Chains A and B, each alone.
Chain A
């Protein structure tokens, strides 16, 4: 069973600073890892999907890496903006089920 952990639980940074969000998982036989954004009371927006054969994915200011051997994924958000304030979730799957971390709640101060 895949267990996913996210540390820290909360993060507050000034606008313009780069964000580094960490995710660790227990089973290296992971098929893919997906990063989501969740705004309060809202659904999940998929940010990036990294397949097991990939090392990283990039979209705009976002970059996510995957290291299966160490059981870690990192989401980098460059030049943070107040609009980036949200909870970020990572989820790993060994089949079709996503196992979610508890999330990191990010506050970007203007």
Chain B
């Protein structure tokens, strides 16, 4: 059973470009979470999605950031018009279909975004 997959592992963008980060959850998991780890800071929750639904995006910056988890295919975190402050490691996690409380989250290897 493959773990959570993220790609690309490293992404370099110039200011003003768009960044698209992909996450494929573990097989059988339909709950996806995105977290961000800024340099010298801890991981912070960004968004929680189920298939075709955004459940909680309270941790997402109000502008330029969006996330989706379509019926088919990976979850996408999209950052428009990137700025240097977006440079960070972005981690995706997934939990089993039963979801809800007391569910262990499994993390992917992360995408390290560098904005020049």
Contacts and interface: CB of A to CB of B under 8 A. Distances in A.
Interface of A: 31-32, 34, 36, 41-46, 49, 51-52, 89, 91, 95-103
B101 A98 contact: no
A44 B91 contact: yes
B102 A31 contact: yes
Given A31-B101, A42-B109, A43-B110, A101 B42 contact: yes
A96 B48 contact: yes
Interface string B49-72: 000000110010000000000000
A32 B102 contact: yes
A101 B41 CA distance: 9
A46 B109 contact: no
A24 B104 CA distance: 19
Contacts of A31: 101-102
Given A42-B109, A46-B104, A96 B56 contact: yes
Interface centre among A31, A44, A46, A91 (most CB of B within 10 A): A44
A73 B44 CA distance: 20
Interface residues of B, number: 28
B42 A32 contact: no
Interface string B79-111: 000000000000101010001111111111110
Contact of A96 (B33, B41, B91): B33
Interface centre among A36, A46, A98 (most CB of B within 10 A): A98
- Enumerate the 6 nearest inter-chain pairs by beta-carbon distance, A residue then B residue, closest first: A43-B109, A44-B107, A100-B43, A97-B45, A49-B104, A100-B42
Interface in B5-51: 31, 33, 35, 41-45, 48
A100 B104 CA distance: 14
